[in-house]
Amino acid sequence: MTGLLRKITWRLNLLEKALSSPLKTDWGGVLREIFSSHSQDSSFPQPLLLREENGLGCYRVREREVWFPLSFDPSFLGFVYEEIFVQKVYEYASCRIHPGEWVVDAGACEGFFSLYALERGANVLAFEPVSEIAEALEKTLKEYIEKGRAKVYALGLGREREEKTIFLFQLLRLLIL
C-alpha cells in the first residue's frame, strides 16, 4: 500500500469510527487527528515489523522491540518513541524516575513509557483498557513480569467504577491480490 493510500485509509477509518457513535464522539479530537501529520511523519523512526504471532506483531523502533496488534496502525510508534526516549517528556523539573520506585503507566498502550521506567530501574503497574493492546503489552513486558518488576492490568483508571466505550481507530488492511 502506498504512503498516500495508507494516510487516506487511516483518516477514513477514523472518521467512520467517529460517525458510528456521533453523540459520544469528541469531534475536536477526531478532527485534530485527521488533520495532524504526527502519526505519518517520516522524520520519526519508523517501526519495522520483525515477526507475527497470533494476531500480534513484534515491531522494532530503533533498538527497542514492542508487540502491538496487527490490526492497528503502528505508524505512530516512532512518534511516541521519540517523545519518551529522545525528548524525555515525562521527566522534567523535580519529576524523575528512580530505581526501586513503583510507576503507574495509565493507558500504557504499546509500552514505551513502561520500558523507559523499567530501564531506569523502577517497577511498573501498567493499565491498558483495550484487551488486544493489553495482551500485546504483556508480551512486550514479559521478562519484567517474570521478574516481578511489572504487572499489566487490562483495565482503565478513573474516579468511578463504570463501563465506557472506547473507540479504536484501526487502519483498514487492504489485501492486494
- The three-state secondary structure class of 155 is coil
| Cell (9 digits) for 106 | 495509565
Structure confidence by residue, pLDDT tens digits, 129-155: 999 999 999 999 999 999 999 999 999
Cβ atoms 170, 13 nearer than 8 A: yes
Looking at the chain, list the stretches that DSSP marks H as alpha helix, in order from N- to C-terminal side. Answer: 3-19, 27-35, 77-81, 112-119, 131-140, 142-146
Who has greater pLDDT, 111 or 169? 111
Beta strands in 32-173 (DSSP E): 48-53, 56-61, 64-69, 102-106, 123-127, 150-153
| Cell (9 digits) for 13 | 477509518
Question: What is the spatial distance between Cα 79 and Cα 41, in angstroms, rounded to a whole number?
Answer: 8
Helix or strand run (H / E) with residue 23: none
Distance of CA 143 to the CA centre of its chain: 19
Greatest distance between any 2 Cα atoms in the chain: 55
Is a pLDDT exceeding 60 seen at residue 128?
A: yes
Which one-letter amino acid corresponds to residue 142? K
Walk across the sheet containing 56-61 and list its strands.
Answer: 48-53, 56-61, 64-69
Distinct helix (H) and strand (E) counts, the chain: 6, 6
User: What pLDDT shows up at residue 140?
Assistant: 98
Is a pLDDT exceeding 90 seen at residue 89?
A: no
Kindly list the structural domains of the chain, giving each domain's residue range(s) and its CATH number in brackets, ordered by start. 3-153 (3.40.50)
Count Cβ neighbours within 10 Å for each residue of 118-149 and write b for 16 or more, e otherwise: beeebbbbbbbbbebbbbbbbbbbeebbeeeb
Mean pLDDT lowest for which of 17-31, 89-103, 113-127, 148-162? 17-31
